[in-house]
Each structure stands twice: as C-alpha cells, then as structure tokens.
Amino acid sequence: MSILTTNTIILNATAADKFEAIRLAGQLLVDAGHVPPAYVDKMIEREEVSSTYLGGGLAMPHGTNDSKSLIQSTGISVVVLASEVDFGGEAARLVIGLAAVGDEHLDLLSSLAVLVSDEDDMERILNASSKEELLRIFEEGMES
C-alpha cells in the first residue's frame, strides 16, 4: 500500500472551518484503509489541544499520542483548499493528514517539511491541475 495515492488527494476542496478540513483529510485516510473512523476523532481531539498549523499555509493534522494503536498502515492525505481556512489565527490552504506506524512519522514529517518549505514546490502543490500532477510533485520531493 502506498503512502500517498490519487485516492488520498482532494484538489480545490471547500471547508467551512479547520475541523471540516481535518475531517476531509482524515476520511481520505479511512477510505484508503490506513486508519479506522475513530482516528479522525483523535485528529480533531489533537487539534483542540494544540494547532497543527506549521506555517507557510500548511497544516498537518494527526492523531493524539494515544491513537497510535489505531493506525493500521502509514499514509498521508493531501487536501488543497480552494480558499484559506483559519487554523488558530493562521491561514492554511494545504492540509496534509498524517498517520504513521511506529517511528515512521519522524521520517515522514522531515521529508514532508523539506518539500513544503520550498516556496516553489509549495506553489506547484497549490496550483496542481490534477491529482496525478500533485502525486508526482510529492513523489519527487520526498525522494530527494
């Protein structure tokens, strides 16, 4: 099972608030078989404790520490929002849902952080015209 596929990507999504955006990202992980629906509730719970906004228009919601046992396989989901959503006073347009088995989340976080910290790559992600194009950007960026 791949960490990211076209089935775990939504382009031009609309969300009324950060919780709706998190539910979109979480449901993609559920549909792909990475996590059960209860993990999405843990993503919401985690956001209520502390914002998962990382800067530069990116939020990376994930479950609480006690939800690790729920994760069936490592995966990410990517939601590109049509318009910004408020994440604790910060505006996000890219929401990356994260579910990682064991210590894989550290490697995953660092490779994702490198990819999205590059302004050109972030611009390419936000302007991707297809799920396939977005998937290529992530595959290339996470390999380097």
pLDDT tens digit sequence for 73-93: 999 999 999 999 999 899 999
Residue type, 33: G
Whether 62 is catalytic = yes
pLDDT of amino acid 80: 98
pTM of the predicted protein model: 0.94
Going by pLDDT thresholds of 50, 70 and 90, the confidence category of residue 144 is low
pLDDT of amino acid 103: 78
pLDDT of amino acid 2: 80
Other residues' Cβ atoms within 10 Å of the Cβ of residue 35:
26
Model confidence over 85-119: pLDDT tens digits? 999 899 999 999 999 998 777 788 788 878 888 88
Q: In what order do the strands lie in the sheet with 9-13?
A: 9-13, 75-87, 90-99, 58-59, 53-55
Catalytic residue among 62, 87, 97, 134: 62
Q: Which domains does the chain have, with CATH numbers?
A: 9-143 (3.40.930.10)
Could you tell me the sign of the dihedral formed by the alpha carbons of 50, 139, 80, 24, in that order? negative
Instruction: Using alpha carbons, select from 40, 31, 18 the residue that is nearest to residue 93.
Output: 18
CA-to-CA separations, 41 to 36, 61, 91, 93, 124, in angstroms, rounded: 10, 11, 22, 21, 31
Nearest 5°: the CA angle 35, 13, 54 is 70
Model confidence over 51-79: pLDDT tens digits? 999 888 999 999 998 999 999 999 999 99
Is 90 exceeded by the pLDDT of residue 32?
Answer: yes
CA distance 31 to 126: 23
Label residues 99-115 b or e (16+ Cβ within 10 Å = b).
Answer: bbeeeebeebbebbeeb
CA distance 97 to 24: 9
